[in-house]
Chains A and B, each alone.
Chain A
Amino acid sequence: MASYAYLFKYIIIGDTGVGKSCLLLQFTDNRFQPTHDLTIGVEFGARIVTVGNKRIKLQIWDTAGQESFRSITRSYYRGAAGALLVYDITRRDTFDHLATWLEDARKYSNPNITIMLIGNKCDLAAKREVSREEGEAFAQENGLFFIETSAKTAANVEEAFVNTAQDIYDKIQTGVLDVTNESCGVKTGPTQSGLASLPSAATESNRGCC
């Protein structure tokens, strides 16, 4: 039950109130809370997903939006294999601040980190202030993956986490990431059974939700 092939560390970053904690809650518990306690410091979550027939444990750090958190602890950025950079499609300012967040992520994390840009709250189409195209363009300019999600309806939430894991897994397969170097945010699990199987695509579906 507890065995897994790899452990990946994630961080979730972005402005306050964009739905970082709600994304994590939806992903780990399949629940949504309309008003969530705001995050003080950091929260923590874990779940196992399957990518390429491998069980992969995701260990996820969810950070406070207001905090310049790199000054609080080394643990977030240190050894993160994946970063979910979240903005709120109904609040322009959260999109405008992406560059700052990205700069932090680039500066303090390992160079091979996989970054997924997430436009959250895509269920609130009527209040949209940032178009999907703008999000895509920003992602493309900066070499990020992009997806729009709704933590409320769960649309694309699974994909956001799993696609990131898929990319990290691919990097391991191609030797870009060294699993013996913990600062990459990747560790081999306690069991290494089933190593023989070949990598294959995970639950791929990029269905748009909006």
Chain B
Amino acid sequence: MLAATEVLARWSQLRSASLLSMATLRELGQTSDIPQQTLRSICWKLYLEYLPGLTDLGVLWPDALAKERTHYDRLRGRFIDEPSRQLRPHESPHIPTNHVDLRVHNPLSLANDSPWQQYFQDAELKQIIQRDVVRTFPDQPYFQSPRVQDAMLNILFVYCKMHSDISYRQGMHEILAPLWLAVDEDSVDHAASAPHTLAGDEATAVLAALDAKFAEHDAFILFCRVMQVIAPWFETSDSPLPRTDVARSRQAQSPPSGGHILRSLQRLKVAEVSRSAPVLAKSHDFFHRLLKTIDPPLYQHLVTLDIEPQLYGIRWLRLLWSREFAFADVLRLWDALWADDAHLGAVEYLCVAMLIRIRHLLLAGDEVVCLQTLMRFPGLELAAQTRSKAFVPPFPHRPTLHAADLYPIQFLFQQALFLRRHTTLAAGLLVIAQNDALLGHETTNEPLHAVDAEATMLPTSRLTSPPGRSPVISAPVHSSNRQSLASVVPPVKAPRTALPGKVSDRPSVPTRLKAQAVVQLDRNVLEPTVAILEKCEQWLRLASPGIPASAAPQAPAFSDAATEAWSILTTERPVAEDNQPAITSTRSESVPDAATIVGLVIQALRHTTEQLAVGSPPLQQQASSAALLASRLQDTNRQLAVLATQAGLDKASAAELPLTQGITDTAKALFSQHVSMAQHSSRRPADSPKLSTSAPTMPIEPRPTSSPTRPFVSRPPSAASQRRGLSPIRSPPHTSSVSQSLRPRAIPSKVSKPSAETHDPLGAL
């Protein structure tokens, strides 16, 4: 409960931060603590489209408020007040006492139209709801107060009466609780009679929107908005999987073998999903479609362990993660979820981002470790523990925004949005690289020593209470309290220093040995790929500063190339006949593949360069971009040559080198082509600035051979590279030592191009 003056002060803060623009307010909801610091109630009502935007609010808000609140009054009257009035017909002014039919109006009546029949049914429903409401966030004293529990019971009861098909399902109360809190915390007593310091209608409208008298109404309305999207996830299907299917699938999966499992699962899932509950379909979708596309090795690993996505997906989806994070982080996540899209279009991508965040734990874990990790998501804690070491690449589409500017939960959400914009393998690789940096995974020559269940303090049982939940009613976090990601502990979150539980489920020795072999293999392939992909993104950003993210043409070609590279990687060495993981492949086999990848990526860059050159940005910039890219291509080519030379140490390098030579030629040709294009074009329009090819007007980063800022680490040159006069062998500085593991055994199907971005508040800025 706030005082009117406090509300108006916060409103003016919100007003000036958002500049009264919904786009800005949506961005603030994802990247700042503004909702927490000002009026979360207003923000959520706007995001969830209860309040109709920020223009003309003095006029439009009162109408919207009145309409929706009256609606709730009617529903409440119909489902709560009226039935109880009917039980006392003699008190009704409309029915003469002698007209009361006692055959119907008596508690023992069995007549269908007896109000008492309804009364007993309702009482039962209320009892079911109440039993859960009293268990709402048991560690938050706020939710133990009778005032709060009564309001929640009323809201849930009315909702269930409205939707008698689903009625009450466990978990709905945990969706309502944070919504109620947001409304209740910012509500104003006696809003109508409050003194106004802001002039006129606007202040009146703001105070009316926060009127404590209508807190129950408003929480109900927000609850309905959210449930509109997630209600299907509470449905259950009563048609279980026929037993024969189960038996057959078990038969097919024994003994365990990757290919068989996958095939039988796929056979099963088609029939299964079509008749299953929507929450299963949603889980199925983020796992079997999205994760499979974005992170095939992780997908394959979980499929092999036969861990079904709905095991953890049900709780993630139904509760919108209200159990998975500390309470303050849940509120922050919901800020971002609503701000991004009232229809919660990021949900399945957040599931994927979460899986990728803990992929190093999952890939190193057996079934038990994986289940425990998934059932108790440790992703934010991991980041908090190692944050001081973290270097985080900037957001691909917002060069000025860094992970360090965000709370960990917000960064995770941004990764989800990135995966929504680019549902590709390349994007997955980037997110993995971001996580490696964030989690402080150092490049090391020792394979897989870091993944250790003990080190991550996984509890034996996830049933332990979430100690990270901070008190729910906390003072607003002021910006002075706001710590950067470089600090050790997140601002409003209790550190999980002493996780209870013991570790009894370390990966067994054979599992570890196997994982080591796989990591050694894949690091050779993935490390250069990730490093180069990352560099490419950086160059592209450098090269096209004026192009809005949504219009950037490079992403499709770029990720297609990476996808293609992946396919080549996975097809060239087919799975062994016994379907065992291909863990015996050696370094010498994989390095030429890395060279192939680089070649493909450079091809993608070439396309991009062409697109830039014919695009709409000013000519001068095009030419500079082209020049920059072309010079960078040569630089990349040098990296490539080094890789090829490395390969040559194990295997004859002759086969690889023509490829690199070819790329050098391509780069040179591109360079001169673009330069001549630029010269040619610059002669035509009179007002075009003269372009000097030797000194492009756009600042081009100097390219010294040993710049300290260069992200590649020098090592002594190999004999082969010296012979050919190549630059020293370099290796990427921060690629993963542990996160890349199981080599994919299935060839990923051609990844679809990123869909056109429909809603991208960040990119639009």
- A residues near B (Cβ < 8 Å) are 1-3, 16-17, 21, 24-25, 28-29, 31, 33-48, 57, 59, 62, 64-68, 70-75, 78-79, 107-108, 181-183, 190
Contacts and interface: CB of A to CB of B under 8 A. Distances in A.
Interface string B127-150: 000011011011000000000000
A185 B582 CA distance: 29
B171 A43 contact: no
A28 to B, nearest CB: 4
Nearest to B239: A71
B410 to A, nearest CB: 25
Given A35-B138, A108-B243, A190-B508, A24 B463 contact: yes
A70 B170 contact: no
A1 B504 CA distance: 7
Given A2-B508, A40-B319, A44-B372, A16 B241 contact: no
B542 to A, nearest CB: 46
A40 B318 contact: yes
Contact of A28 (B246, B367, B460): B460
B246 A74 contact: yes
Given A33-B138, A44-B372, A72 B310 contact: yes
Nearest to B463: A25
Nearest to A76: B311
A2 B238 contact: no
A39 B174 CA distance: 11
Contacts of A1: 504, 506
B111 to A, nearest CB: 26
B131 A43 contact: no
B257 interface: no
Contacts of B367: 59
Contact of B135 (A38, A64, A75, A181): A38
A121 to B, nearest CB: 15
B461 A41 contact: no
Contact of B461 (A29, A39, A65): A29
B462 A45 contact: yes
A21 B254 contact: no
B280 A25 contact: no
Interface in B200-246: 236-241, 243, 246
Contacts of A48: 504
B463 A21 contact: yes
Contacts of B314: 40-42, 72
B277 A41 contact: no
Contacts of B730: none
Given A31-B500, A33-B465, A182-B254, A68 B236 contact: yes
Contacts, number: 140
Contacts of A59: 367-368
A66 B239 contact: no
A36 B501 CA distance: 17
Contact of B308 (A34, A64, A74): A74
Interface of B: 131-132, 134-135, 137-138, 169-171, 174, 236-241, 243, 246-247, 249-250, 253-254, 276-277, 279-280, 306, 308, 310-312, 314-315, 318-319, 323, 367-368, 371-372, 375, 459-465, 500-501, 504-508, 510
A47 B318 contact: no
A40 B175 CA distance: 12
A141 B464 CA distance: 36
Contact of B170 (A33, A38, A72, A183): A38
Contact of A78 (B238, B246, B501): B246
Nearest to B169: A66
A127 to B, nearest CB: 15
Contacts of A29: 459-461, 463-464, 500-501
Nearest to A27: B461
A31 B464 contact: yes
A41 B506 CA distance: 26
B463 A74 contact: no
Contacts of B306: 75
8 contacts: A31-B500, A41-B315, A43-B462, A70-B241, A71-B239, A72-B236, A73-B280, A74-B246
Nearest to B460: A28
B247 A37 contact: no
Nearest to B276: A71
Given A16-B131, A29-B463, A72 B371 contact: no
A108 B246 CA distance: 10
Nearest to B254: A182
A41 B135 contact: no
A104 to B, nearest CB: 9
B370 to A, nearest CB: 10
A36 B505 CA distance: 25
A29 to B, nearest CB: 6
B238 A37 contact: no
A44 B367 CA distance: 11
A25 B461 contact: yes
Contacts of A74: 241, 246, 249, 308
Contacts of B504: 1-2, 46-48
A34 B144 CA distance: 13
Given A29-B460, A41-B310, A108-B240, 17 more contacts: A2-B504, A3-B508, A25-B464, A29-B500, A34-B138, A35-B138, A36-B135, A37-B135, A37-B137, A39-B170, A43-B463, A45-B460, A45-B462, A46-B461, A46-B505, A74-B241, A183-B246
A41 B131 CA distance: 17
A75 B311 contact: yes
A71 B135 contact: no
Contact of A71 (B171, B277, B462): B277
A44 B240 contact: no
Nearest to A28: B461
A16 B460 contact: no
A18 to B, nearest CB: 12
A112 to B, nearest CB: 14
Contacts of A181: 254
A64 B277 CA distance: 16
Scoring B134, B367, B463 by chain A CB atoms within 10 A of each residue's CB, the highest score goes to: B463
Given A31-B500, A37-B138, A45 B463 contact: yes
Contacts of A64: 170
Given A33-B465, A36-B135, A43-B462, A75 B170 contact: no
Contacts of A2: 504-508
Give the one of B132, B312, B318, B461 with max A CB within 10 A.
B461
B32 to A, nearest CB: 30
B371 A44 contact: yes
Contacts of A25: 461, 463-464
A36 B461 contact: no
Contacts of B170: 16, 38-40, 64-67
Nearest to A107: B243
B427 to A, nearest CB: 29
A50 to B, nearest CB: 13
B323 A37 contact: yes
A3 B505 CA distance: 9
A57 B311 CA distance: 20
Contacts of A79: 250
Contact of B171 (A24, A40, A46, A73): A40
Contacts of B254: 181-182
Contacts of A183: 246-247, 250
A101 B462 CA distance: 25
Contacts of B280: 72-73
Contacts of A71: 236-240, 276-277
Contacts of A57: 368
B323 A40 contact: yes
A33 B137 CA distance: 13
B308 A73 contact: yes
Closest 7 CB pairs of A and B: A41-B314, A35-B138, A28-B461, A45-B461, A70-B240, A40-B315, A25-B463
B368 A46 contact: yes
Nearest to A184: B250
Most B-side CB within 10 Å, residue of A16, A21, A45, A68: A45
Given A46-B372, A74-B241, A36 B236 contact: no
